[in-house]
Amino acid sequence: MGMLWFFFEGEPVAQGRPRIYRNRNGIHTVDPEKSREYKEALGLFAQGEMSKDGISPFEGPVKATLRFARSVPRSWSAAKRKSALSGGMLPVSRPDLDNYVKAALDALNGVVWEDDGQVTEIVACKVYAERPEVLVRIEDCPQVPDGLNDL
């Protein structure tokens, strides 16, 4: 069973709303610069980790586990900061978790897998941390996870 995992240091970036342009060739969308740069950096980092570990792109269904660790706002009190870092508070503000996930999965397209349509299971969370980072863990997912057929 194949598996890839790594920590990507830095503040997570959510997928921003694309700009839409219309010209005589049709409609085109362009990622915001911040989203585009983040996805390029994450993709290159993943490619380096795969090369270092001798891992080939995944074929078939995969499970993606993603943890987005955000910085605690500087304006928070020491007590509130301590609570957030100990897990007593979770980031319930924007950006939304699904936008973080979208940016990460798009960044891994053509690197970790051919297309993010191969992702058949996702486990994701956003938390506060002293050091912002993204944990990425990708593994083969050959069958329906236990209990999900009973839903």
CATH of the domain at 111: 3.30.1330.70
CB 140 within 8 A of CB 79: no
pLDDT tens column, 41-64:
999 999 999 999 899 999 999 999
Tokens 């911040």 correspond to 34
Asked whether residue 24 is domain-assigned, the answer is yes
> Whole-model pTM?
0.87
Q: What is residue 127's predicted lDDT score, i.e. its pLDDT?
A: 97
Q: What is residue 2's predicted lDDT score, i.e. its pLDDT?
A: 85
The number of domains in the chain is 1
Give φ, ψ of 136 to 5 degrees. Answer: -120, 125
Asked whether residue 11 is domain-assigned, the answer is yes
Asked whether residue 120 is domain-assigned, the answer is yes
pLDDT tens column, 82-105:
999 999 999 998 999 999 999 999
Asked whether residue 145 is domain-assigned, the answer is no
Asked whether residue 13 is domain-assigned, the answer is yes
Residue 50: domain span: 3-140
Instruction: Quote the DSSP letter at residue 92.
Output: -
Asked whether residue 109 is domain-assigned, the answer is yes
